[in-house]
Amino acid sequence: MTSYFNPEIETMNRGDLDALVEARIKYTVRYAYDNSPFYNKWFKRNNITVSDITTHEDLQELPIITGKSMRSHQPPETEKFEFKCSNWKDIYTIHETSGTSGRPKSFFLTWEDWKRYSEKYARSFTSQGFGPGDRIVVCASYGMNVGANTMTLAAKKMGMTIIPEGKCTFPVRIIQNYEPTGIVASIFKLLRLARRMKSEGLEPQDSSIQRLIAGGESFSEEARKYVEEIWGVNIYNTYGSTEGTMCGECSKKVGLHVPEDMVHLDVYDPLLKEFTEDGECGRIVLTTLLPEGGKTGTLLLNYDTDDTSVVVSRDKCACGRTHMRVLNPQREAETFLVAGSPFNRVDVEAGVFQRENMDYLTGEYEAFIYGNEDEGEVTMRVSMECESINNCDQDLIKENFIKSFFQYKTGLKEAYQDGSFDVLFNFEGPGDLEFYKIKGRPKRIVDRR
């Protein structure tokens, strides 16, 4: 039986949903002009009449805003936080992005923002089969990022219990004692936790876990299937950010539902400088949507997330939800260009996690790109961790990786065949990969060109 957190909104027919979105576009644009120092000047500088922005198409005509735009309009570059658009008395919390691509961006949330953010997660959790009585271990930071706290607030709305670990290095007794029914963590954290449980005599498939949620980074379908096999349960995908995206995959696993009434998502091609058609890949561009009379602490119009995706469908999903679906987003910072052809970290990961390979590998890997196309060959060295270095069918793994990696990449395959691009393989024992020596989240691909 399918259940919804907010059935009236989640199953609204497309015509009514589009009308609701356009009404919120009008209100949000006016709110931006009236309350945001940045947008007030921005509209005037670009000769934009606020009352002219009434539709989805009008919104697409507005300039694109980037993370650089945000950082250049906050201290120390400016005296005040110019994207802040509520009085201090209305600001409930202050947050910062992780700052992986530069100085952290500042975000200000009202209590209304928190309620909207938590509803997005509550819808997602419900679509994945969670409900009253579930107990979820959250392996996400409870610091300046919003994800973990938002999930915790969503649980309150749903009658669920949160076990706020923050990290996935918690003792196995947590699972044995409290019998959680779900875990929120990245694919690799779930993989490592499963290995640790096995080493302590608890098979993941024999635990209380009924479903898992993967978040924090994109992943390959091959990796998901393998981790699902280990745990014996479904893994559902989520995509969230401080900016407010928070999309969730439902139980049908046919794309991530976008909460269209609260966030407007478009896909943009920065090379062509135009928005793409559904089914075409590009960068996710989002706009905060406010209900009539609503307030927000930080508002974004046409914000370039630097993540790429594809709109799968705007048709009604098999789960009954009518909100659009997108593919698992990928970080553009993890996309690399060789011989004029792009590939992403996820493509490398897919090659590693070929099912036959996993009879020998742990799943941990790292890759390094060397060379100069102008001077000759570019080389990618892929290092993989073996369960046992003395019992690892290296030839089989190489063959499976090459077949997977080049399967849909004609340009890269031609470069590989003519010798201008080479892939080298390195196999290490447990704990011997380079990233183990560095603190923080592993950087899976390092471009050393």
Instruction: Give the number of other CB atoms < 10 A from CB of residue 375.
Output: 7
Q: Nearest-CA neighbor of 355 among 396, 385, 389, 297? A: 396
pLDDT at position 139, please? 95
Encoding tokens for residue 71?
């950082």
- Give 366's contacts (C-beta < 8 A, 6+ positions apart): 382, 383, 433, 434, 435, 442, 443, 444, 445, 446
Q: What is the pLDDT of residues 276-330, one digit of tens each?
A: 999 999 999 999 999 999 999 999 999 999 999 999 999 999 999 999 999 999 9
Residue 84 vs residue 100, higher pLDDT: 84
Range of the domain at 405: 334-447
My answer on whether 356 and 209 are in the same domain is: no
For residue 100, pLDDT over 60 is answered with: no
pLDDT class of 372 with cuts at 50, 70, 90: confident
My answer on whether 22 and 156 are in the same domain is: yes
HEC profile of the chain: CCCCCCHHHHCCCHHHHHHHHHHHHHHHHHHHHHHCHHHHHHHHHCCCCHHHCCCHHHHHCCCCECHHHHHCCCCCCCCCCCCECCCHHHEEEEEECCCCCCCCCEEEEEHHHHHHHHHHHHHHHHHCCCCCCCEEEECCCCCCCCHHHHHHHHHHHHCCEEECCCCCCCCCHHHHHHCCCEEEECHHHHHHHHHHHHHCCCCHHHCCCCEEEECCCCCCHHHHHHHHHHHCCEEEEEECCCCCCCEEECCCCCCEECCCCCEEEEEEECCCCEECCCCCCEEEEEEECCCCCCCCCECCCCEEEEEEECEEECCCCCCCCCCCEECCCEEHHHEEEECCEEEEHHHHHHHHCCHHHHHCEEEEEEEEEEECCCCCCEEEEEEEEECCCCCCCHHHHHHHHHHHHCCCCHHHHHHHHCCCEEEEEEEECCCCCHHHHCCCCCCCEEECC
For residue 376, pLDDT over 80 is answered with: no
My answer on whether 422 and 394 are in the same domain is: yes
Cβ(193)–Cβ(183) under 8 Å?
A: yes
pLDDT class of 439 with cuts at 50, 70, 90: confident
pLDDT class of 99 with cuts at 50, 70, 90: low
Q: What is the pLDDT of residues 378-390, one digit of tens each?
A: 999 999 999 999 9
Domain closes at, from 303, 328, 353: 328
My answer on whether 41 and 88 are in the same domain is: yes
**In this structure, are strands 335-338 and 311-313 parallel, antiparallel, or unpaired?**
unpaired
My answer on whether 236 and 127 are in the same domain is: yes
Q: How many domains does the chain have?
A: 2
Domain closes at, from 328, 356, 390: 328
Q: Nearest-CA neighbor of 150 among 108, 118, 184? A: 118
d(CA 122, CA 102): 31
Percent of the chain with pLDDT over 70: 98
My answer on whether 232 and 338 are in the same domain is: no
pLDDT class of 351 with cuts at 50, 70, 90: very high
Region 6-21: mean pLDDT is 97
My answer on whether 375 and 271 are in the same domain is: no
d(CA 223, CA 191): 9
Choose the most confident range, by mean pLDDT, from 64-68, 143-147, 202-206: 202-206
Mean confidence (pLDDT) of the chain: 94
Q: What is the pLDDT of residues 105-162, one digit of tens each?
A: 999 999 999 999 999 999 999 999 999 999 999 999 888 888 899 999 999 999 999 9
My answer on whether 382 and 436 are in the same domain is: yes
My answer on whether 264 and 390 are in the same domain is: no
Cβ(234)–Cβ(212) under 8 Å?
A: yes
Instruction: Give the number of other CB atoms < 10 A from CB of residue 152.
Output: 18
pTM over 0.85: yes
Q: Nearest-CA neighbor of 430 among 368, 346, 360, 351? A: 360
pLDDT at position 120, please? 96
Instruction: Give the number of other CB atoms < 10 A from CB of residue 177.
Output: 9
pLDDT at position 144, please? 82
My answer on whether 275 and 416 are in the same domain is: no
Residue 241, burial from CB neighbour count under 10 angstroms (0-12, 13-18, 19+)? buried
Domain closes at, from 278, 309, 328: 328
HEC profile of 180-223: CCEEEECHHHHHHHHHHHHHCCCCHHHCCCCEEEECCCCCCHHH
| Total residue count of the chain as it appears in this document | 449
Q: What is the CATH number of the domain that holds 210?
A: 3.40.50.12780
Instruction: Give the number of other CB atoms < 10 A from CB of residue 122.
Output: 23
Q: What is the CATH number of the domain that holds 397?
A: 3.30.300.30
d(CA 211, CA 271): 40
Longest dimension (CA), the chain: 70
Q: Nearest-CA neighbor of 432 among 397, 362, 385? A: 385
My answer on whether 105 and 154 are in the same domain is: yes
My answer on whether 356 and 322 are in the same domain is: no
For residue 32, pLDDT over 90 is answered with: yes
**In this structure, are strands 303-309 and 311-313 parallel, antiparallel, or unpaired?**
unpaired
pLDDT at position 271, please? 83
For residue 352, pLDDT over 90 is answered with: yes
Region 60-79: mean pLDDT is 93
